[in-house]
């Protein structure tokens, strides 16, 4: 099994995470808390009460784990395409696979990524939702002192299943949307690249950016449910499951609730995925 795709996916995932984490923190707060009037209000309050470091809450753990998960996504995607088409990464540029194969490979990578990502993503969301400023003398400590303490607390208070809370919504979010993600990327690359040639850096940047936006347009409703399920249980259980979370959110806040964070997701998606794909393609070319 080729391993270059896994390593390239790891490095490109880490670069994308560092670039996108501040936007992700604001997005998670908007999706799970009703105390903010919008993106600007949320950003100002985080900066005022928690300093610049507030935007990077929960990043240390995903920096290793999410990079690993991104490695799974790109590695499984490339190797699934290899199994479906019997063509290597280089050969796919000369003999491109069908969009059906691309979609199936993307979905396969998405479902495996979702279940690898679930515990790490839950810990990230819990840490991002801590609104307390950094601990000072005389101030009450935050509920979670760090990622390991968060994981241990969830395990102790909610059991092993607590670490997988929201995994169904995560799988629903990632499986079809990552199929669409890779199809969009491949379509743009093929459309703007002469037959048999390698896409230019500019084409890869544009294709990666628009692939990220296309996937998040579909993924955001499931992302809202995922974040709410992951926060459920911090104080008390509010939802009996993903479907109950969807119906309760719809009844209380209307259909607009499922698109909270869409603007921010789209704004973040373009640069993050442009950098992710460019670094992924560049690393593969450099090694070969």
At 273, which CATH number? 1.50.40.10
Q: CA nearest 188: which of 249, 107, 99, 75?
A: 99
Give me the pLDDT at residue 1, please: 46
Distance CA 71, CA 140 (A): 38
CB 181 within 8 A of CB 208: no
Distance CA 59, CA 57 (A): 6
Give me the pLDDT at residue 223, please: 87
Query: pTM for the whole thing?
Result: 0.77
Hey, is 138 helix, strand or coil?
A: coil
CB 102 within 8 A of CB 20: no
How far is C-alpha 96 from the chain's CA centre? 27
Q: What is the dihedral of CA 26, 31, 36, 42, to 10 degrees?
A: 0
CB 277 within 8 A of CB 208: yes
Positive/negative CA dihedral, 41, 47, 49, 50: positive
Give me the pLDDT at residue 284, please: 83
Quickly list H helices, 145-261. 147-158, 167-191, 201-231, 242-253
Distance CA 109, CA 78 (A): 9
Domain that holds residue 174: 4-287
In this structure, what are the phi and psi dihedrals at residue 126, rounded to the nearest 5 degrees?
Answer: -60, -45
Give the number of domains in the chain.
Answer: 1
Q: CA nearest 94: which of 188, 201, 198?
A: 198
CB 139 within 8 A of CB 39: no
**Tokens matching residue 41:** 């209000």
Splitting the chain (288 residues) into consecutive groups of 10 residues, what average pLDDT does each group show?
71 79 84 84 89 79 70 87 77 78 94 85 83 61 84 90 85 90 95 86 95 91 87 74 90 91 86 90 81
């Amino acid at each position: 099994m080729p391993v270059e795709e896994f390593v390239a996916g790891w490095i490109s995932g880490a670069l994308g995470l560092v670039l996108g984490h501040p936007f992700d923190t604001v997005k998670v707060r908007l999706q799970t808390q009703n105390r903010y009037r919008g993106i600007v209000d949320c950003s100002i309050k985080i900066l005022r009460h928690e300093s610049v470091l507030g935007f990077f809450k929960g990043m240390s753990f995903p920096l290793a784990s999410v990079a690993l998960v991104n490695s799974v996504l790109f590695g499984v995607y490339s190797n699934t395409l290899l199994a479906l088409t019997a063509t290597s990464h280089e050969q796919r540029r000369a003999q491109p696979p069908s969009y059906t194969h691309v979609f199936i490979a993307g979905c396969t990578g998405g479902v495996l990524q979702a279940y690898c990502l679930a515990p790490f993503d839950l810990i990230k969301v819990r840490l991002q939702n801590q609104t307390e400023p950094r601990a000072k003398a005389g101030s009450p400590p935050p509920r979670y002192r760090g990622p390991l303490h968060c994981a241990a607390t969830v395990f102790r208070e909610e059991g092993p299943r607590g670490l997988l809370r929201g995994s169904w919504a995560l799988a629903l979010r990632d499986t079809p949307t990552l199929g669409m993600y890779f199809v969009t990327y491949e379509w743009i690359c093929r459309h703007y690249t002469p037959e048999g040639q390698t896409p230019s850096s500019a084409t890869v940047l544009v294709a990666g950016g628009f692939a990220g936006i296309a996937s998040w347009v579909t993924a955001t409703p499931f992302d809202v449910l995922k974040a709410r399920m992951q926060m459920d249980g911090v104080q008390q259980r509010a939802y009996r499951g993903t479907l109950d979370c969807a119906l309760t959110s719809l009844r209380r806040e209307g259909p607009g609730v499922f698109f909270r964070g869409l603007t921010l997701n789209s704004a973040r998606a373009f640069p993050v995925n442009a950098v992710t794909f460019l670094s992924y393609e560049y690393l593969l070319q450099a090694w070969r």
